[in-house]
Chain A
Amino acid sequence: MKLDKEGFGLLELHAHLQYAVDLELWTIPFYMSAMYSIKDKNTQAYQLIRSIVNQEMLHLQCAANIANAFGLSPKINVPVYEGTKVPHLDFSLDPQELVKQYEPYTAEIGPLDEEHINAMCLIELPEYDTQLKSHAQNAMVFCDTPTEYGTIGAFYQALLHGVALHKDQIRGGLKQVDFFAPFYRNMPNLTVTGSKDIGLSQVQLLINLITDQGEGFSAKEECVPKVFQNTADDPQPAQDHFAKFNEIKTCKDDRPETFQGGGADDSGLQGILIEQFAELTQVFQAMFNGENPKQFFPIMASVGASIRNCWQNGVTPSFSESTTQEEK
C-alpha cells in the first residue's frame, strides 16, 4: 500500500524535491573528481565518466525544473563528502549480498580507485532488480516520511508517486532552465511548460529520463531508450550509468593511471577550487531561482579546470573548507 495524499503531503513532496536536488548535486563533484584524476583523457573510463557527469548536470537541471514547477525554488547546499555517507541513500536498505559486491566504498573525494568505483556503482544501483524493488516498496509502505532510500531508483519511484498525488500544484513555465536541449535532439522538452495533467506528464518524463539514464530501463534490455539518449557527444549513449560504472569496475586490468592527491597545496589550489565551487553554488541558486546568471557556464568550467589543476599538482580536490580542514 502506498502512502496517500495525507501521508505524502505537499511538505513531504517539497522535501523530496529538495532531496533530489541535493542528491544530483552531490554526485557532480564526486564523479568529476574521479574523472579528472585520470591522466589520459582518451581512456574509456575517462570518457564514460565524462558522459555520466554531463548527465548528472542534466539531472540536476531536471530536478530543479520539477521543483520549480511545484513552486519550490530548491536550495543549493554545498555537498559534504565524509565517510560513506551519500545524501538520502542508505545502502543498508538494499540486499546486503548485492551491496557486498561493491564494498569497500567511500563517499570522500578521491581519485578513480576501487573504493570510488564501488561508491559510484552503489549510487547507481538498478532499481529494476526485483529484490531492490521490493525493498523500495517496503520503505514506502512502512516509512511515513522517508528521507533515505536504498537506491536512486527507489527514491525516484517515491517521487513519482508524490508528484502524481499533487499534480494539481504543477505550474508550467516557472523558473525553468535548459542548457541541454541540443544534446538531446530526440527529447520533446527538458522543461516543464504545462500545468496540472500536462505538467505531470512532463514531470514524469523528466523523472524517467533521470532513472533510465542512471540505472537503466530494465534488466533485460540494458539500453537507455532512444528518447533519453545523448545525440551529440556520448561514446555509449545507449548505456546507463550503472552499466558504465560496472564496465569500469570489471576492467581492473585496464584501470587507467591516475594522479595521486594528498600533496602539499603550495599554490593554494584547493582554496581556489573551494572559492569557485562556492561561487558555482551561488550561481546555481540564482539560476534555479529564476535569474539568468551569464557566468554559470564559465564558473562551471572553471571548477572543472580547477579540479584537474589540483590533481595535476598532486593536490586532492576539495569543495568546502570543512573537508580541507579535516584533511589537514
Chain B
Amino acid sequence: MSDKLVFRVHPSINFARFGTSDEYILSPETSAGLPQANDNVTGGLPIKKDTESDPVTSNDLRDEEGFLRKQAARFRIYAYENGKSEYPSGEGTEVTIGTVLPDGRKVKTMLWSCHLANKKSAAYNVVNDKGIKAYDDGVPQRRNPEVHGDINDPNRLNQLMIDPGPRVINGRRQSSVGFNASTPAEFVNNKGEVTELPDYPIRFPQDTNEKLFEPSGPLNTLGEMRTDGMGRLLLLASSGNAVGQYDEYDQVIQMNGDLNNAGWFDSAADGPVDVTLVFEDDSIEQVHGAWVVCCDPAYAPQIRNVVSVWDNLYDMFVRKLSLQPDLYDQASDKYNCEYTPSFTQDIKPIFIACNLQRWTANLPPFALNAHTAVDAIDAKDDPNKTIMSGLNFIRNPNKDESNIGAPLMPLSLGEAGTSFLTVTKTQYFNLEQWSKNSFSQDEGSKLGKGELLDIASLSNCLGGRYVPGIEVSYSIMDKEIYIQDWRKSGAGPFRIKHKRMDYQGLNKADPYLNIGWIPRHGMTDGLEPGDLSKFMAIPWQTDYNSCSIHATAINTDGVNMSNGAESTLYWSWPSQRPDAVYVAEEVINNVLPQQKWSVRGPGTYAINPASAATFQNPVQSVTDWDKIGFIIQGTNIDDKYKQYDANLYLEVEGQLTAPGDASDPVAHWPFNANPKKKL
C-alpha cells in the first residue's frame, strides 16, 4: 500500500437490478426523491447507458421489443489521503485508467474480480415473525429438508447451491464476462496475476436435475461483468428468472408459500467485488473492495423509503461502530445532546419520504394534506409551529410504540414481531434535535463523492421491515459482517468483510463454498459469495408478489397486537413495492385519475381485499413480474402529446393491462380484509 493513499471502491454496497432484456441502463447514483442541484428531477432514477449521470426517461426502461432493461451496478475507485479516516471524510478522488497519482504512477489497468453465488435453496428458512431472532437459540429449519445431509453436506450444496465461481475483467469497454458455466472461472492472486481455475466446481441447477420447469427460460447465469470507457466495473444481474423441479409424478412442485418454496431456484445473487490497481511501472495497489447484490428491478426508484437500508446501516455504525463520536458516544451509550444535525441531510429526507408515499399507496385525502404539510417544512420554520411539533405523530423507537397505529407514523408494517414500522434511533434523535431547534441550516454537504455514492446506493433500498426484505435482509444491520476496524484498516465504513478465499485445492466434485455466515453465532471471518441473498425469499418473486398489503397479525404470529381492528390492512413495503399507483396514460391535463393496483389485470382479481394487488397464482409472479409498470417523475415521462408536472410520479411502461381493462377497485385507507370465517 502507498504510504500516502488508500483506495476504496464505491459504492461500498451496490445493487444490480434484474431485467429480461440483454440491454442495460445503470443503477441510480443519486438518493431517491431528494432534490438535485440545478435540476427539477429528483434523485433515484437509473442512469442512461454510457453517461455519467443523465437520468433515464420512461422510454429507456424497456428495449425496443418491450423487454425490461437490466440496471448495471457501476463501481468506481476513489483515492483517499492516508489518515483521513474520520466520517465523513469529505474527500476522495476518483481513479480510472490513465489517472496519474501524486507520486507519479499512472494507472495502466484495473483488475476487477467478483464472485457471485446463490445459496438460497441450500440455506435456512426465513421465519417471518421472528426475523434475526430465529438464530438466537440455534438455527431455523433448512430449506429443502428432503435433500439429505446437514447444512454443509456436499450432497446438499452440490444439489442446491448455484455457484459459477469468480470472474475477472479489466480494461476499457470490455464486453461481457458471464457468471455462467461456459465462461472459465478466474481470480486475481495477491501478486496481481490473473489465474484460471479450470477445476472450479461450477454449480447450476441443471447439473443435478434432468428436467426443470423453466417458465422464463433456463437458469444458466447469475449475471455478467463489463467495463465502461473509464475502466470502471459494470456488474449486470441475471434476467431474474426462476426454475422449479418436478416431483416423482412428473408434476411441477407447487409453490406453497411466499418465502421458502421447496424445489425452486432463482437467479438472485450477491458477492464480493475486488479490484487491483495495476500501474504502468507494473506495481500494484490493493483496493478496499465492495459488495454487489443482484435483486429486484426497483419499480419506484424515486419514491424514498422513510427507513431505507442506509438509515439502518448508518444507525448501526453510529451506535455500534463509533462512526461519529460527536453524534453518539459508544462508551456511555448516549447521543450527544449538543449535536446539531443538518436539516438538509438528516431531517428533510424524512419529510420528503413521508410525502412521496402517496404515489404508491392508497392514502386518504386528509392524510395527503397532512403529508404535504410535512414536506412543506423548511429549515427556517419554527418546529413548534409545524405539524411535526413535539414529534407527536412519530412513533418513538425508544419506547414500545410499535403496536400503535394511526396517527403515529410511519403507518406501514414493521419488522418481525412488531405491528408497525419505526424510524431508527438515530433518525429519531436527529428529529428530536430539530424539534428542539438544535439543528444546522447548512446546505453544503460534508460528504465526499464516494461517500455520497454509498448513501445513494443504500438509501434506494428498502429498510426497516426485513421480512425478509427486497434487496437485503436483517443481516445487513449486523456489525459482524462488516470491517469493524474501519478507521485503522483504512477501509472506511459500510464495507462488508470478505471471507478470505485463495481458491486452492479445487476439485470439481466438491463444492467450494459452504453455507457461510449466519447471525448470532459469533462468526466474524467475513462473508462468502451468496451470504446476503440467502436470507431472502425463494423465489424472490413470490415474496415481492405477496408483500403488498396485510393485516398487522402477519408480523405477530397471527395475533393482532395492534391497537386497531384485526382486519385493518396496511402496506408492507409501500415505497419499494408499489401498491396503488396513478397510471400516466390516464392522467389528462395533470388531473389525477383513480388509483389502480400496481399488480392488476387477469390473474389478479381477489375476493378478499387482503389479497388485492397480487398475482393470485404464484407461478404468474414468476412469469409476469417484468410486466409491472414503473413509477417515475412526470418530468421524465416520454409522451408525444402530453407534458406532466414535476410534482407527479406516475406509472409508466406497465404491460399488465391496457387502458379500460377492468381491475379490482382501490379503496382509500383505512380498508379491511374480509372477516375471518367463524368456525
* Chain A residues engaging chain B, CB cutoff 8 angstroms: 36, 40-42, 47, 179, 182-183, 185, 230-235, 237, 267-269, 272, 276, 294-298, 301-302, 304-306, 308-309, 312
Min CB distance A316 to B, Å, is 15
A269: min CB distance to chain B, Å: 6
Which residues of the partner chain B approach A179 to less than 8 Å between Cβ atoms?
366
Q: Does B399 contact A (CB under 8 A)?
A: yes
A-B contact pairs, 25 of them (CB 8 A): A41-B399, A41-B404, A42-B404, A182-B364, A182-B670, A182-B671, A230-B565, A231-B567, A232-B564, A269-B384, A272-B384, A272-B389, A294-B369, A301-B373, A301-B387, A302-B385, A302-B387, A302-B389, A304-B407, A305-B388, A305-B392, A305-B393, A308-B390, A308-B392, A309-B389
**A235:B563 contact, CB within 8 angstroms:** yes
Are the CB atoms of B389 and A306 closer together than 8 Å?
yes
Known: A41-B408, A305-B388. A296 touches B672 (CB 8 A): no
Q: Does B101 contact A (CB under 8 A)?
A: no
Which residues 394-413 of B have a CB within 8 angstroms of A? 399-401, 403-408
Indicate if the CB atoms of A312 and B670 lie closer than 8 Å.
Answer: no
The CA of A41 and the CA of B398, in the complex, are separated in Å by 13
**Most B CB within 10 A of own CB, among A40, A296, A304:** A304
CA distance A40 to B407 in the complex (A): 15
Q: In the complex, A305 Cα to B565 Cα: how many Å?
A: 24
If A234-B565, A272-B384 are given as contacts, then 5 extra A-B residue pairs at C-beta distance below 8 Å, sorted by A number, are: A185-B671, A294-B369, A295-B373, A298-B369, A301-B407
Most B-side CB within 10 Å, residue of A232, A272, A308: A232
A47 interface neighbour in B389, B563, B567, B667, Cβ under 8 Å: B563
B399 near A40: Cβ-Cβ < 8 Å: yes
Contact indicator B564/A297 (Cβ below 8 Å): no
CB distance from B32 to the nearest CB of A (A): 24
Produce 1/0 per residue, B367-382, CB < 8 A to A: 1011011000000000
Q: How large is the interface on B (under 10, 10 to 19, 20 to 34, 35 or more residues)?
A: 35 or more
Task: With both chains docked as a complex, state the minimum distance between the C-beta of B569 and any C-beta of chain A, in angstroms.
Answer: 10
With contacts A232-B565, A233-B405, A305-B392 taken as known, whether A267 is within 8 angstroms of B384 at the C-beta atoms is: yes
| C-alpha gap A231/B369 in the complex (Å) | 23
Question: Contact between B404 and A301 (Cβ–Cβ < 8 Å)?
Answer: no
Taking a contact as CB atoms under 8 Å apart, the answer to whether B366 and A297 are in contact is yes
Give Cα A221–Cα B385 distance, bound, in whole angstroms: 45
- Measured CA separation A296–B372 after assembly (Å): 12
- Ranked nearest first, the 9 interchain pairs of A and B with the lowest CB-CB distance are A309-B390, A232-B670, A298-B373, A233-B564, A305-B389, A297-B366, A305-B392, A308-B392, A308-B390
Q: Give the docked Cα–Cα distance between A298 and B390 (Å).
A: 15
Q: Which residues of B contact A297 (CB under 8 A)?
A: 366-367, 369-370
CB-CB contacts of B554-573 with A at 8 A, as 1s and 0s? Answer: 00000000011101100000
- B386 at interface by CB-CB < 8 Å: yes
Chain A contacts for B565, CB-based, 8 A = 230-234, 237
Among the listed B364, B384, B400, B568, which residue makes an inter-chain contact with A42, where contact means beta carbons less than 8 Å apart?
B400
Q: Closest approach, in angstroms, between the C-beta of B383 and any C-beta of chain A?
A: 9
Please indicate the chain A residues that have their CB under 8 angstroms from the CB of B390 in the complex: 305-306, 308-309, 312
Chain A residues lying within 8 Å of B406, measured Cβ to Cβ, are 232-233
Q: Which of A230, A272, A297 has the most CB of B within 10 A?
A: A297
| B384: contacting residue among A182, A295, A301, A306, CB under 8 A | A306
Q: How far, in angstroms, from A260 to B183 measured CA to CA in the complex?
A: 72
Task: Pick the contact of A298: B387, B408, B670 (CB < 8 A).
Answer: B387
List which B640-676 residues lie within 8 A (CB) of chain A.
667-672
**Do A41 and B401 touch (CB < 8 A)?**
yes
* A residues in contact with B366, CB < 8 Å: 179, 296-297
Q: How far is the CA of A233 from the CA of B367 in the complex (A)?
A: 15
Are B393 and A309 in contact (CB-based, < 8 A)? no
Q: From A40, A185, A272, give the contact of B385 (CB < 8 A).
A: A272
Closest to B407 in A: A301
Q: Which residues of A sit under 8 angstroms from B668, Cβ to Cβ?
A: 182
A264 to chain B, nearest CB (A): 15
What residues on B are CB-neighbors of A272 within 8 Å?
Answer: 384-385, 389
- Whether A298 contacts B384 by the Cβ 8 Å rule is no
Name the residue in B364, B369, B393, B403 with the highest tally of chain A Cβ atoms < 10 Å from its Cβ: B369
What A residues does B403 contact at CB under 8 A? 42
Given known pairs A182-B671, A297-B366, A298-B369, the reply for A305 and B401 (CB within 8 Å) is: no
* Nearest-neighbor residue (CB-CB) of B372 within chain A: A298
For B367, what are the chain A residues with a Cβ–Cβ distance below 8 Å?
297
How far does the alpha carbon of A230 sit from the alpha carbon of B387 in the complex, in Å?
25
Cα of A299 to Cα of B670 in the assembled complex, Å = 21
Q: Kindly state the separation between the CA atoms of A295 and B386 in the bound complex, as whole angstroms.
A: 12
Distance in Å: Cβ of A149 to nearest Cβ of chain B = 32
Task: Closest B residue to A294 by CB, please name it.
Answer: B369
Q: What residues on B are CB-neighbors of A40 within 8 Å?
A: 399
Q: How far, in Å, is A318 (CB) from chain B's closest CB?
A: 15
Residue on A with the closest CB to B371? Answer: A298
A307 to B4, CA, bound (A): 57
Q: Please measure, in the bound complex, the distance between the C-alpha atom of A289 and the C-alpha atom of B74, giving whole angstroms.
A: 58
Is B384 touching A233 in the complex (CB atoms < 8 A)? Answer: no
Which one of B387, B399, B405, B669 contacts A305 once the chains associate, using CB atoms below 8 Å? B387
B contact residues around A301 at 8 Å (CB): 370, 373, 387, 393, 407
A185 and chain B: residue at smallest CB distance? B672
A48–chain B nearest beta-carbon distance, Å: 10
A302's nearest neighbour on chain B, judged by CB, is B387
CA distance A308 to B403 in the complex (A): 20
User: Closest CB-CB distance, B350 to chain A, in whole Å?
Assistant: 16
Complex CA gap A34/B197 in Å reads 73
Q: How far is the CA of A142 from the CA of B408 in the complex (A)?
A: 49
Chain A contacts of B672 at CB under 8 A?
185, 231-232
A-side contacts of B401, CB under 8 Å: 41-42
Bound: A283/B136 CA distance, A: 54
Q: Across the interface, which residues of A come within 8 angstroms of B373, CB to CB?
A: 295, 298, 301-302
Chain A residues within an 8 Å CB radius of B384: 267-269, 272, 306, 309
- Please provide the chain B residues from 338 to 370 with a CB less than 8 Å away from any CB of chain A in the complex: 364, 366-367, 369-370
Residue in B closest to A235 when the chains form the complex, CB atoms: B563
Interfacial chain A residues near B405, Cβ < 8 Å: 233
A40-B399, A182-B668, A297-B367 known; A233+B563 contact, CB < 8 A: yes
Shortest Cβ gap from B463 to chain A (Å): 24
How far in angstroms is the closest Cβ of chain B from A243?
A: 17
**Min C-beta distance of B396 to chain A, whole Å:** 8
Chain A proximity of B158: nearest CB distance (Å):
51
Which has the most chain A C-beta neighbours within 10 Å: B370, B405, B408, B668? B370
Closest to A47 in B: B563
Whole-angstrom distance between the alpha carbons of A215 and B392 in the complex? 29
Return chain A residues, CB-CB under 8 Å to B568.
231-233
Min CB–CB distance A28 → chain B (angstroms): 15
- Residues of chain B within 8 A (CB-CB) of A312 are 390
Contact with A along B532-574 (1 / 0, CB 8 A): 0000000000000000000000000000000111011000000
Q: Provide the bound-state CA to CA distance between A230 and B393, in Å.
A: 21
> In the bound complex, what is the Cα–Cα distance between A185 and B672 (angstroms)?
9
- A272 to B567 alpha-carbon distance, docked (Å): 38
A235-B562 Cα distance, complex, nearest whole Å: 8
> What separation, in Å, do the CA atoms of A305 and B409 have in the docked complex?
13
A295 to B369, CA, bound (A): 7
In the complex the two chains form, what is the Cα distance from A88 to B625 in whole Å?
A: 61
Note all chain B residues with C-beta closer than 8 A to A306.
Answer: 384, 389-390
- A263 and B366 alpha carbons, distance in the complex (Å): 34
Q: What's the minimum C-beta distance from A311 to chain B, rounded to whole angstroms?
A: 8
Contact (Cβ within 8 A) B564 A235: yes
Nearest residue, chain B, Cβ from A311:
B390
Assess whether A182 is in contact with B667, with CB atoms less than 8 Å apart: yes
Give the chain A neighbours of B393 by CB distance below 8 A: 301, 304-305
With A and B bound together, what is the CA distance between A94 and B524 in angstroms?
A: 73
Let me know if A234 and B564 touch, CB within 8 A. Answer: yes
Whether B389 and A231, one on each chain, are in contact in the complex, defined by CB atoms closer than 8 angstroms, is no
Q: Is the CB of B386 within 8 A of A302?
A: yes
Task: Provide the bound-state CA to CA distance between A276 and B373, in Å.
Answer: 14
Give the distance in Å from the alpha carbon of A297 to the alpha carbon of B372 in the complex. Answer: 11
